[in-house]
Structure 1
């Protein structure tokens, strides 16, 4: 006989339709004293963070007051500071060190590299490395002045007096024949770099005695020493082998006036 639902069955139906059990939220699960601790910590972090920001950006305690320069030789410290345009009085944390570096390299080509650092709480440090001339080129139509060339082949400065001990680079490039073809193929800048390459490969004693480095073409580089002796070097290739051959040749023929190491496996000397 069909009958109505029992009391137990009605209870089960009520439980099935009641949904998932209620879970208290985070705040309700926290005990009152723990909640106070969380609020206090959050407020403390806000206060500390705000204080740090004020010290870095708003106070006078961390603003730029001095600019120090190191590494300058030919350049004066005043020249470096002026070109750097460091924003004195501004917050130290907001100074754009990359922009300062870019300005120095652009305005002062004599600078090869520069390191810009913050010196807390009030300073900016500028550590510069100047280019060193390995050759000089006499500037035509410029009142007898000289362009300085560094080890990278960069012409970085013009000076009135030739630096002592720095060889003169002579580019005697013809506009006709094989020399013209070499000039068209490599360009004058590449030929200057080849001369620099040769100067860097010279034996120490020879390098100190070189007065002139003459470049006629890529394959024709020659040297004139201070005592009038000459060296045919050829191209800038195999510089180490040529340096060793020249050293041995000068020892074997100390009275010779002319040396040829363009082919290092068959060096030659002549004159007395």
Structure 2
């Protein structure tokens, strides 16, 4: 039987090699064009969904973490653009607006809650001292920030009394450190007090940087000195009050050599 001719072998090789290169390129190009068109449509659809549709818009504003402030106050100050696309809400601007309008807010986290919400998580400042002025009370937080004025003194928060005499040597302390620094020193003292002592403290009095004292509601007093070594002074005071329950005056300005007197 005669074998396959050269011409026949050439025809079979051409058939097995597929379409010509030009046709293969055209098909590849068509697939790329179709993929690109699909990507454009998907992108356009995504943009429309986020910005143009009515599906992903702000409908509610949630508030958490308030104690003195009310959720309504926070919502009003936040001024969230209800009805706007959720993706376009400027959360950093809302945070800045809240801290500016409501100084009682120490920090706030503004986040999106898909598909329709904005959530405001608030942390309020806590007063550790009060400054009485004009029959009202200015609240001072643990950083020495005077953040709010209230008509009634919060319970359990001692008063800050800056009784620096400008005619004495203490005036030099005021000039050197300034009222703000002395206030922060008083805050440090208040922060070092044991809870039981803090509850009984009526006032933290500051005559100079290193002459800070406490006055309890029952008239007992404590010479604290400067705010340095606050933890050691707090431990010493607790032990001294336990050892001399009838004393009227305690001195822990030098915690290694405390003293008590009066009865």
TM-score (norm 1): 0.87
Equivalent-residue separation in structure 2 for 1:241 and 1:29 (angstroms):
88
- Are positions 1:188 and 2:182 aligned together? no
Equivalent-residue separation in structure 2 for 1:207 and 1:44 (angstroms):
68
Superposed displacement of residue 129, structure 1:
0.6
Superposed displacement of residue 176, structure 1:
2.3
1:163 to 148, 154, 157: 154
Equivalent-residue separation in structure 2 for 1:227 and 1:65 (angstroms):
54
Gaps in structure 2 of 5+ consecutive residues:
1-20
Do the aligned partners of 2:156 and 2:198 also contact (CA within 8 Å) in 1?
A: no
Superposed displacement of residue 29, structure 1:
8.7
Superposed displacement of residue 73, structure 1:
1.5
Equivalent-residue separation in structure 2 for 1:260 and 1:168 (angstroms):
20
Superposed displacement of residue 91, structure 1:
1.0
Equivalent-residue separation in structure 2 for 1:199 and 1:71 (angstroms):
24
Large movers: runs of 4+ above 4 Å: 27-30
Equivalent-residue separation in structure 2 for 1:99 and 1:181 (angstroms):
43
Q: Which residue of 1 is the match for residue 258 of structure 2?
A: 267
- Are positions 1:226 and 2:220 aligned together? no
Q: Which residue of 1 is the match for residue 89 of structure 2?
A: 95
2:167 to 164, 169, 176: 176
Superposed displacement of residue 28, structure 1:
5.5
Q: Secondary structure at the match of 2:169?
A: helix
Equivalent-residue separation in structure 2 for 1:212 and 1:176 (angstroms):
23
The 3 A distance-change label for structure 1 pair 224 and 29 is: farther
Equivalent-residue separation in structure 2 for 1:83 and 1:147 (angstroms):
21
2:249 to 237, 253, 258: 258
2:73 to 68, 79, 83: 79
Equivalent-residue separation in structure 2 for 1:153 and 1:222 (angstroms):
17
1:154 to 136, 139, 145: 145
Superposed displacement of residue 122, structure 1:
1.0
- Are positions 1:36 and 2:27 aligned together? no
Q: Deviations over 1:6-57 (max 9, x none)?
A: xxxxxxxxxxxxxxxxxxxxx9595332222111111000000000000011
TM-score (norm 2): 0.89
